[in-house]
């Protein structure tokens, strides 16, 4: 896939909030560009070397004058061939070309950073005698600044709750969203040719929403943008995108906590909720805290087998009682570290995420030789169906 198509796919992933996919596509685009530049440079060097090699070979080809020996006329041709001294053939241009090509490829692979690292190691091993490729002050080697200033990101577990609740794009700042109530009415049996009886009318409930705006900015100096050898602007933009995800996750989790409360102590209590308390028409999921998940991971059946199962068919990779388990930090779905809580039910029907404007970033010029990277996100989250789930607290066994 060419870079233009990859850019389009990356933009789609970014618009959909799939930052990991967008990040992977961006890395592939950069890799393609680097490969194209490397091949172009290699081609240019090889063409120049081949041209120089051709000129050297032409200069080496000097015709040999035949030796004049009077005895050759009297000797047979076979003896003449034997007495001729063997002439070593000239160096094969192809072989020489391959060797130079190999050296050129090694030169390209050994980029600036690898050369700097090698030079520093040689300086240390030779106790300062070998200084090739290094900037030195007196008897000290100056270690390049970029060896120690590149940021290293801490690993993060990213769960986008917007992918689990009902997402409703809206075009106005306020409004209402109709929800059709479950239809449990039945038709009436009538005699042949009798008048049709009236059927029950559909019932609706309205969910009112009011969009809120979340925004802010991060100042970045122009010197930092110019001097950094990494994509500093992209790094800051990714930082803002993560903050917008944290903001929407917190708002959604707060609504999930408004579900009817239940307390459980055993796996049988969880089965009662999944099998009886929630209508089977709902698509039940476990959105659990880490501490709640840890307790689930320890639960066993009567035969001593663990109940929590790994399942590659779901995004989270785990299932319990045939339902997907999504794991969040304790203080996201709960209120503090150590909370053993979970939303059990159908989050897509319980809560609605009214999306007015997806997270976006924009550079704004700053008058102090810098730029402001501003981020915006506009949304609202409201409870739509209170019968779709429960907010469950796991307590110790009696």
What integer is the mean pLDDT of 241-252? 89
Is the per-residue pLDDT at 277 higher than 80? yes
Least confident among 269-278, 286-295, 368-377: 368-377
Separation of alpha carbons 201 and 139, rounded Å = 91
pLDDT of residue 202: 75
CA distances (Å), origin 195, targets 185, 188, 189, 191: 19, 11, 11, 9
Residue 25 — pLDDT band, cuts 50, 70, 90? confident
Q: Which of 35, 10, 28 is nearest to 237 (CA)?
A: 10
Number of Cα atoms under 13 Å in the Cβ half of residue 288: 24
Separation of alpha carbons 38 and 108, rounded Å = 7
Separation of alpha carbons 280 and 14, rounded Å = 35
CA distances (Å), origin 363, targets 16, 48, 151: 21, 43, 22
What integer is the mean pLDDT of 253-274? 93
pLDDT of residue 127: 46
Give the 3-state secondary structure of residue 381. Answer: strand
Is the per-residue pLDDT at 60 higher than 70? no
Instruction: Choose from 20-24, 171-175, 232-236, 260-264 the range with maximum mean pLDDT.
Output: 260-264
Rounded to 5 degrees, what angle do the CA atoms 378, 383, 384 make? Answer: 110
Write the pLDDT tens digit of every residue in 70-96: 444 444 554 444 444 555 555 555 555
pLDDT of residue 347: 94
Phi, psi of 12 (to 5 degrees): -60, -45
pLDDT of residue 287: 94
DSSP 152-195: -PPP-----GGGTSEEEE-SSSEEEEEEEPP---------TTPP
Is the per-residue pLDDT at 246 higher than 60? yes
CATH topology classification for 204-394: phage-related protein like fold (3.90.1690)
DSSP 252-274: HHHHHTTSPEEEE-SHHHHHHII
Return the DSSP state at 300: B
Separation of alpha carbons 367 and 327, rounded Å = 45
Strands 285-289 and 323-328: parallel
Separation of alpha carbons 205 and 387, rounded Å = 13
Separation of alpha carbons 277 and 346, rounded Å = 12
Residue 390 — pLDDT band, cuts 50, 70, 90? very high
What DSSP element (H or E) covers 382? strand 370-383
pLDDT of residue 50: 76
Separation of alpha carbons 291 and 296, rounded Å = 9
Separation of alpha carbons 375 and 239, rounded Å = 10
pLDDT of residue 225: 64
Report whether 215 contacts 374 (CB < 8 A).
yes
Structural domain spans, the chain:
204-394
Write the pLDDT tens digit of every residue in 181-221: 776 777 777 888 778 777 777 777 888 999 998 888 777 76
Write the pLDDT tens digit of every residue in 128-187: 556 566 555 454 444 444 444 455 555 555 788 998 999 899 888 888 888 877 767 777
Contacts with 334 (C-beta within 8 Å, 6 or more apart), sequence order? 289, 291, 340, 341
H-type alpha helices, 257-375: 267-272, 290-298, 330-333, 347-350
């Amino acid at each position: 896939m060419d870079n233009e198509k990859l850019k389009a796919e990356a933009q789609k992933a970014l618009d959909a909030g799939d930052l990991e996919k967008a990040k992977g596509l961006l890395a592939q685009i950069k890799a393609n560009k680097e490969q194209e530049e490397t091949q172009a440079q290699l081609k240019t060097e090889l063409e120049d070397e081949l041209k120089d090699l051709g000129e050297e070979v032409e200069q080496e080809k000097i015709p040999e004058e035949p030796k004049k020996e009077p005895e050759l006329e009297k000797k047979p041709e076979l003896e003449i061939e034997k007495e001729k001294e063997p002439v070593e053939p000239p160096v094969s241009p192809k072989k020489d070309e391959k060797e130079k090509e190999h050296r050129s490829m090694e030169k390209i692979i050994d980029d600036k950073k690898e050369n700097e690292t090698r030079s520093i190691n040689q300086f240390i091993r030779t106790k300062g005698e070998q200084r090739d490729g290094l900037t030195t002050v007196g008897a000290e080697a100056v270690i390049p600044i970029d060896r120690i200033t590149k940021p290293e990101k801490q690993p993060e577990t990213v769960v986008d709750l917007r992918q689990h609740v009902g997402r409703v794009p809206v075009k106005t700042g306020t409004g209402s969203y109709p929800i059709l109530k479950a239809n449990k009415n039945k038709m009436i049996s009538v005699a042949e040719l009798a008048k049709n009886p009236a059927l029950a009318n559909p019932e609706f409930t309205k969910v009112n929403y009011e969009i809120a705006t979340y925004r802010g900015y991060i100042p970045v100096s122009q010197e930092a943008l110019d001097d950094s050898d990494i994509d500093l602007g992209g790094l800051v933009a990714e930082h803002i995108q993560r903050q917008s995800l944290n903001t929407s996750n917190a708002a959604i989790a707060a609504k999930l906590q408004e579900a009817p409360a239940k307390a459980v102590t055993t796996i049988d209590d969880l089965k009662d909720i999944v099998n009886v308390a929630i209508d089977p028409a709902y698509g039940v999921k476990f959105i659990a805290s880490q501490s709640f998940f840890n307790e689930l991971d320890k639960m066993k059946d009567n035969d001593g087998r663990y109940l929590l199962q790994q399942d590659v068919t779901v995004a989270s990779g785990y299932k319990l009682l045939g339902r997907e388990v999504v794991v969040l930090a304790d203080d996201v779905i709960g209120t503090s570290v150590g909370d053993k809580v979970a939303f059990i039910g159908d989050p897509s029907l319980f809560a609605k995420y009214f999306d007015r404007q997806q997270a976006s970033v924009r550079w704004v010029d700053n008058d102090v030789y810098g730029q402001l990277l501003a981020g915006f996100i506009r949304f609202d989250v409201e409870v739509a169906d209170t019968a779709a789930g429960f907010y469950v607290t796991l307590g110790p066994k009696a």
